[in-house]
């Protein structure tokens, strides 16, 4: 009798272990079927990929990076999402490290609706109808300032070096933003510098350092400080101008005589992506015209899609300081392309920020 009970208990234990193993394998399978998306804060919103979520409810898990230099460092160190969202000027670095796989444009349903100026960018072409990045968003970097606290400033990046506003200005903590502006003011090509020219840029950055309240990529904090008057001017992206104007804060997004910085970003697929089919579904969802329209109207950024602009009125675009054709914008701005000395400039910038 005792033997019989022991046998039953053993059978139950084995059955329980089998059920547990089945449950664990199902959990792993479900996890593997969830797209891993690595992106900027604010770009994880479900409104940007409604058709994807309709087909794959709860089908994406987003991780947030501070900027795409941070993203590059993490991916290079072993973090492996399926899709990441860097900007164009970084794609060649990701590719050089062997982090990417090409994306087949035949599987991108609205590829032909992407503005030629973006889909034909040099470092994107992978040959045989494939690309290293699918462009999705573009926008500008400039000075956002309080019009009631900074009266009629000269339209120049020099505002962020104006001593009368010391301690009440902030700038973006990224190598492809603040050092580029310093280079423009120093009369140096930001994208290809000799060691002597880099020294000139470093000196310009040193002039600015004691005037700043912070170097940051936290635009929410910058917007709050501008709204309260703690800051009177800051380097920001379009979205901050759009947000504060909607709140009724008296701000202006400057068009500096030296040129705004214009950037373009998009989706790359990691070499070790586990969910390739989901990745294509996600990219296609993000390339719905409604997704691009939401990007324009909510953040004031440009969509890579001509069809997205078709859904936004001329009056709205004028308020957002966006032309319906990005090529018009690029005639008067500085397009942020790859920096040949990116790593050296980054080290120099870190040294300057630290007081060196």
The per-residue pLDDT for 33 is 83
- Which comes out higher in pLDDT, residue 133 or 332? 133
Q: What is the DSSP string of 159-211?
A: GGG-GGGTTSEEEE--TTTHHHHHHHHTT--TTS--HHHHHHHHHHHHHHGGG
CB atoms within 10 A of CB 256: 22
Q: What is the mean pLDDT of the chain?
A: 91
Same domain, 251 and 195: yes
Answer whether 237's CB lies under 8 Å from 140's CB. Answer: yes
Between CA 232 and CA 249 the distance in angstroms is: 12
Q: What angle do CA 130, 269, 261 make, to 5 degrees?
A: 85
Residue closest to 253 by CA, chosen among 319, 303, 317, 298: 319
Q: Is residue 30 part of a domain?
A: no
Q: In percent, how much of the chain has pLDDT > 70?
A: 91
Q: Is residue 22 part of a domain?
A: no
Residue 107: which domain range?
A: 35-138+262-329
Q: What angle do CA 68, 72, 74 make, to 5 degrees?
A: 115
Answer whether 183's CB lies under 8 Å from 341's CB. Answer: no
| pTM score | 0.85
Q: What is the CATH number of the domain that holds 151?
A: 3.40.190.10
pLDDT band for position 31 (cuts 50, 70, 90): very low
Q: Is residue 196 part of a domain?
A: yes
Q: Is residue 1 part of a domain?
A: no
Q: Is residue 298 part of a domain?
A: yes
Same domain, 249 and 319: no
- Structure letter (DSSP) for residue 301: P
Q: Which residues pair with 264 in a beta bridge?
A: 138
Same domain, 224 and 255: yes
The per-residue pLDDT for 8 is 34
Between CA 356 and CA 348 the distance in angstroms is: 9
HSE-CB at 190 with a 13 A cutoff on CA atoms is 22
Same domain, 46 and 115: yes
pLDDT digits (tens, 9 = 90+) for 164-221: 999 999 999 999 999 999 999 999 999 999 999 999 999 999 999 999 999 999 999 9
Q: Is residue 278 part of a domain?
A: yes
Query: Could you tell me the end-to-end alpha-carbon distance of the chain, in angstroms, rounded to an integer?
Result: 83
Same domain, 350 and 250: yes
Number of domains in the chain: 2
Same domain, 122 and 210: no
pLDDT band for position 324 (cuts 50, 70, 90): confident
Between CA 72 and CA 52 the distance in angstroms is: 26
Same domain, 119 and 166: no
Same domain, 67 and 50: yes
pLDDT of 24 above 80: no
Helix ranges (DSSP H) in the chain: 2-32, 50-55, 68-76, 88-96, 116-119, 178-185, 195-208, 219-228, 238-246, 276-286, 289-299, 306-309, 314-319, 326-330, 342-353
What integer is the mean pLDDT of 257-282?
97
Same domain, 210 and 241: yes
Between CA 44 and CA 146 the distance in angstroms is: 29
The per-residue pLDDT for 26 is 39
Same domain, 300 and 162: no
Between CA 71 and CA 195 the distance in angstroms is: 27
Same domain, 274 and 315: yes
Residue closest to 80 by CA, chosen among 61, 67, 96, 66: 61
Furthest C-alpha separation in the chain: 97
Between CA 89 and CA 342 the distance in angstroms is: 10
Q: Is residue 228 part of a domain?
A: yes
Same domain, 233 and 296: no
Q: In percent, how much of the chain has pLDDT > 90?
A: 85
Between CA 41 and CA 66 the distance in angstroms is: 7
Q: Is residue 26 part of a domain?
A: no
User: DSSP 3-state assignment of 314?
Assistant: helix
Q: 57 Cβ partners below 8 Å, 6+ apart? A: none
Q: Which sign does the torsion angle of CA 238, 239, 245, 249 carry?
A: negative
pLDDT digits (tens, 9 = 90+) for 92-142: 999 999 999 999 999 999 999 999 999 999 899 999 999 999 999 999 999
pLDDT digits (tens, 9 = 90+) for 67-86: 888 999 999 999 999 999 99
The per-residue pLDDT for 209 is 98
The per-residue pLDDT for 18 is 43
């Amino acid at each position: 009798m005792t033997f019989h009970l022991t046998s039953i208990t053993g059978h139950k234990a084995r059955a329980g272990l089998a059920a547990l193993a089945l449950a664990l394998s199902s959990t792993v399978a479900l996890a593997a079927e969830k797209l891993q998306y690595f992106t900027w804060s604010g770009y994880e919103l479900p409104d940007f990929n409604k058709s994807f979520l309709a087909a794959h409810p709860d089908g994406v898990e987003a991780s947030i990076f501070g900027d795409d230099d941070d993203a590059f460092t993490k991916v290079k160190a072993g973090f492996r999402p399926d899709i990441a969202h860097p900007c164009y000027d970084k794609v060649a670095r990701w590719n050089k490290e062997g982090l990417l796989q090409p994306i087949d444009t035949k599987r991108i349903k609205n590829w032909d609706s992407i503005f030629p100026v973006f889909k034909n960018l040099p470092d994107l072409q992978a040959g045989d109808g494939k690309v290293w990045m699918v462009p999705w968003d573009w926008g500008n970097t400039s000075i956002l300032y309080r019009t009631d606290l900074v009266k009629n400033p000269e339209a120049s990046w020099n505002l962020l070096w104006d001593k009368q506003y010391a301690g009440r200005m902030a700038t973006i903590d990224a190598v492809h933003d603040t050092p580029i502006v310093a280079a423009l003011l120093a009369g140096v090509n930001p994208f290809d510098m000799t060691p002597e020219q880099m020294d000139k840029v470093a000196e310009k950055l040193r002039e600015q350092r004691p005037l700043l309240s912070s170097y940051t990529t936290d635009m929410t904090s910058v917007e709050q400080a501008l709204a309260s008057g703690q800051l009177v001017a800051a380097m920001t992206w379009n979205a901050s101008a759009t947000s504060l104007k909607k709140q009724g804060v008296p701000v202006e997004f400057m068009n500096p005589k030296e040129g705004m910085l214009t950037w373009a970003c998009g989706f790359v697929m990691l070499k070790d992506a586990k969910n390739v089919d989901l990745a294509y579904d996600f990219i296609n969802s993000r390339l719905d015209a409604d997704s691009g329209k939401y990007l324009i109207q909510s953040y004031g950024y440009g969509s890579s899609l001509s069809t997205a602009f078709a859904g936004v009125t001329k009056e709205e675009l004028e308020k957002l300081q966006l032309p319906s054709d990005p090529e018009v914008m690029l005639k008067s701005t500085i397009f942020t392309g790859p920096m040949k000395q990116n790593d050296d400039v980054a080290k120099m910038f870190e040294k300057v920020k630290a007081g060196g």
